[in-house]
Structure 1
Amino acid sequence: MRRDDRNDPFDDIFRELERMMNDVMGGGVEINDAGFGSDTHVDIYETDEEIRVIADLPGVEKGDIGLTCDGKSLTISAANDHREYDERIALPGQVDEHSARATYNNGVLEVMLSRADGSAAIDVD
C-alpha cells in the first residue's frame, strides 16, 4: 500500500498508518523458500494470557504435523503428497513452551501458548 499524494497535510499521519499496517500484515511470520507459500494462511492472535497461532495446512494428515517451540518462536513442519511445509514463526512475546496445546481439524491447525511470567526475581546475597 502506497499513497502518491505528497502535498497532503496529513501525509505524515498516513505514512505512519501505512507503516503500522505493513508491520501488521507482514510482521511475525518469516517465509522460507520451503515454507507454506502464498496458498497457506497464518494468523497470530494475542491476549494478556496467551498467544494463539492458526495455520491452514490443506491436505495434511494430523500425524504428519510436527511442532516445536523455544519460547520465542514456533516451528511448524508438515508434509503431504504434493509438498512439505517448514515454517518458523516469530512469536510476538515470550511464551512458556511447556504450556503449548494444539488442535487440528479440517486442515486448520490451532496452537495455544501461555505467555511466560515476567522476569524472574534475583536475590542478591
Structure 2
Amino acid sequence: MRRDDRDDPFDDIFSEIERMMEGMAGGIDAADAGFGGDAHVSVYETDDEIRVVADLPGVDKDDLRIKCDGRNVTVAATTTTSEYEERIQLPGRVDEHSASASFNNGVLEITLDRTDSSANIDLS
C-alpha cells in the first residue's frame, strides 16, 4: 500500500518551515555560503568615514584580498577548505586611496574616508 502524503497532518508545517529557511538563506544552502555561513559583514558610517567590519573565521591574513572602486569593497579569501568572496555596496562614495585595514583574530576592519559625490566643473 502506498502512503498518501496528504494524510500527514505535519506535511504542510514542515513544507512551510523548509520554504522559510530557504528564503532566509537567500535560496542557497547555508553550508555552501562560504565558511559554513559563519561570515558576517557590517557597515558603519559617520559624516567623515565608512567602516566595514567582517567576521572571517578560519582565515589567515595572507589569504585575504581586498579591493575598492570607490563605491564597493570586495573581500575575498581562499583557504585550504573554502573560498569566500563578497562585494559590499557602500552607503556613500569613498576615497579608495584613503583606505586602511586591520585583521585581528579573524575580524577584518576596513576604514575609508568619505568623498564628495560630485566634482566642481569650471565653465570656460
If the length of structure 1 is used for normalisation, what is the TM-score?
0.69
Q: Which runs of 5+ in 1 are unaligned?
A: 1-32
The answer to whether the Cα contact below 8 Å between 1:34 and 1:84 also exists between their aligned partners in 2 is no
Say which SS state the counterpart of residue 112 (structure 2) adopts.
Answer: strand
Identity %: 61
User: Aligned residue for 2:28?
Assistant: none
The structure with the largest strand share of the pair is 2
Q: Which runs of 5+ in 2 are unaligned?
A: 1-31
Instruction: Work out the CA distance in 1 between the residues paired with 2:121 and 2:114.
Output: 20
The answer to whether the Cα contact below 8 Å between 2:52 and 2:110 also exists between their aligned partners in 1 is yes
The answer to whether the Cα contact below 8 Å between 1:68 and 1:75 also exists between their aligned partners in 2 is yes
**Higher RCO (C-alpha 8 Å, min separation 6):** 1
Larger radius of gyration: 2
The answer to whether the Cα contact below 8 Å between 1:36 and 1:86 also exists between their aligned partners in 2 is no
Instruction: Work out the CA distance in 2 between the residues paired with 1:121 and 1:37.
Output: 47
If the length of structure 2 is used for normalisation, what is the TM-score?
0.69
RMSD: 1.6
- CA 75–103 in structure 1, closer or farther in 2 if over 3 Å, else same: same
Q: Pairwise mapping of residues 41-120 of structure 1 onto structure 2 (< 5 A)?
A: 41-120=40-119
